[in-house]
Amino acid sequence: MTPAGAQAPGGARPKVAVLAAVAALVLGLDVLSKALVVAHLTEGEPVHLLGNIFEFTLLRNPGAAWNLGTGYTAVFTVLAVGVIAFVVRVARNLRSTGYAVAFGLLLGGASGNLGDRIFRAPGVFRGNVVDWIGVVPHYYPVFNIADSAICIAGATFVVLALLGIHMDGTRGDKAPAEPERPGEASPDSPAAAPEESSDSAVAAPGAPSPAPSPER
- Indicate which residues carry an active-site annotation: 131, 147
The three-class DSSP label of residue 174 is coil
**Bond before 137 cis per omega within 30 degrees:** no
Residue 80 and residue 113 in contact, taking contact as beta carbons nearer than 8 Å: yes
One-letter amino acid at 189 equals S
Half-sphere exposure of 88 (CA within 13 A, CB side): 8
Helix-helix angle 145-162:16-40, to 10 degrees: 150
Beta-carbon contacts of 18 under 8 Å, excluding residues fewer than 6 positions away, are 97, 100, 101, 104
Residue 174 and residue 6 in contact, taking contact as beta carbons nearer than 8 Å: yes
